[in-house]
């Protein structure tokens, strides 16, 4: 099973890299597969690569659903594969 998570871009870095945040966990990802991404955008991330931009409302709905499914707290281990 594969899981892709909506993550918010908090820092743009050189070389098509970015720092994203999901549930308070930060991770560096590649933006090589997406165009026109800006600070604050949400992207769908799978195995360290942003696959597409996501509407902010849809991202918030998805994150809220994930929080409802679990106890609402995620650890870095939960996001490590994203």
Model confidence over 22-49: pLDDT tens digits? Answer: 878 899 999 999 999 999 999 999 999 9
Q: What is the mean pLDDT of the chain?
A: 85
Whether 29 and 49 have beta carbons less than 8 Å apart is answered as yes
Q: Which domains does the chain have, with CATH numbers?
A: 5-72 (2.30.30.140)
DSSP, collapsed to helix, strand or coil, labels residue 66 as: helix
pTM: 0.78
* Local structure of residue 43 (DSSP, 8 states): E
């Amino acid at each position: 099973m594969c899981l892709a998570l909506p993550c918010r871009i908090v820092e743009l870095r050189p070389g098509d890299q970015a720092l994203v945040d999901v549930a308070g966990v930060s991770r560096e990802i590649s933006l090589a597969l997406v165009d026109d991404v800006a600070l604050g955008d949400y992207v769908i991330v799978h195995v360290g690569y942003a696959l597409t931009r996501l509407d902010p409302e849809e991202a918030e709905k998805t994150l809220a659903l994930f929080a409802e499914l679990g106890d609402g707290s995620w650890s870095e281990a939960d996001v490590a594969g994203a």
